[in-house]
Structures are given as structure tokens and as C-alpha cells.
Amino acid sequence: MRRPIGVAILGGLVVLAAIVLALAGFAGLIVGFASLLPGINLPTGQLFLGALLYLVLALILFAAGVGLLALRAWAWWLATLASLVAAAWQLLGIYYANTAVPLTSWASAVVTTVIFVYLLSVFRSFHRHVRAAAVAA
């Protein structure tokens, strides 16, 4: 089965985001260890916790990106849920902003919403082989 070009691009971008988050997580670990040196006053616990969170998110995103590229149904569910939560979180942040909302916040909310709608439109691409396997069995 052919993979829609948008799914290939989205899967590649998700894998790229996972790599960036992993690098940020490793950087957080390095800074966390550096903060253990005498005379450096940084929140070590927060650095380690943030680094761990980034590394876990990187693993989840990497799995989702590879799953999207392989047209796995579970990856569609994971990506759809993640985009819905991200869009809701961004729009909530815009709603509760006490100051002028920057254009980048609006742009990211729009892009995340477009990704959610696109994932809904390619639902059949991810679930066609699941139905075919069920019919064959």
C-alpha cells in the first residue's frame, strides 16, 4: 500500500522532533551533572527531572514517527491524541494569556490543528491493512 506523502513528511518531522528532544535531554543531563560541581548554584533536581522527561518524550515521539512511516494503526492513534492534546493546550494558553499573544503562538496552534485534521483525513490509510488482515483471518 502506498503511503500518503503527507504521512511520510509528518512521520519524518516527528522523528526529527524526537532527535531534537533527545539532544535537549542529554544536554540537560550534562548541565545537571555540571551543577553538582562546587560553586555552581543551579537547580540540580529540576535539571535531571527535565532531562528525564525530555528523554521519555523523545522515545515516545520516535516510536510514533517510525509507526507513522510504517502506517501502523497504533501510531495513528498516538499521533492523533498527541496533536489534539497539543492543540488544546496551545489554545488554552492563548485564552488565558494576560498579555498580547505573539503571532508564533497562534501559528503553532493553527499548525497543530491542521495536523490533527490531516490525521483524521488519512484514517483509512492506517486502518486499511488492519481490516484486510481481519478479513483474511
Kindly report, residue by residue over 112-128, the tens digit of the pLDDT: 899 999 989 988 888 77
> pLDDT tens-digit profile of 58-83?
999 899 999 999 989 899 999 999 88
Mean pLDDT of 96-111: 86
Cβ-based burial of 100 (10 A; exposed 0-12, middle 13-18, buried ≥19): exposed
Please state the length of the chain: 137
Mean pLDDT of 89-97: 88
Measured distance CA(120)–CA(78) in Å, rounded: 12
Phi-psi domain of 39 (left: phi exceeds 0; alpha: psi -120 through 50; beta: other): left
Mean pLDDT of 40-44: 81
Closest by CA position to 26, among listed 55, 5, 62:
55
Neighbouring CB atoms inside 10 A of 12's CB total: 13
Report pLDDT for 26: 95
Mean pLDDT of 14-43: 89
> 43 phi and psi, to 5 degrees?
-75, 90
Q: Taking the model in full, what pTM does it have? A: 0.76
User: What's the mean per-residue pLDDT of the chain?
Assistant: 86
Report pLDDT for 101: 80
Residues 6+ apart with CB under 8 A from 40: 34
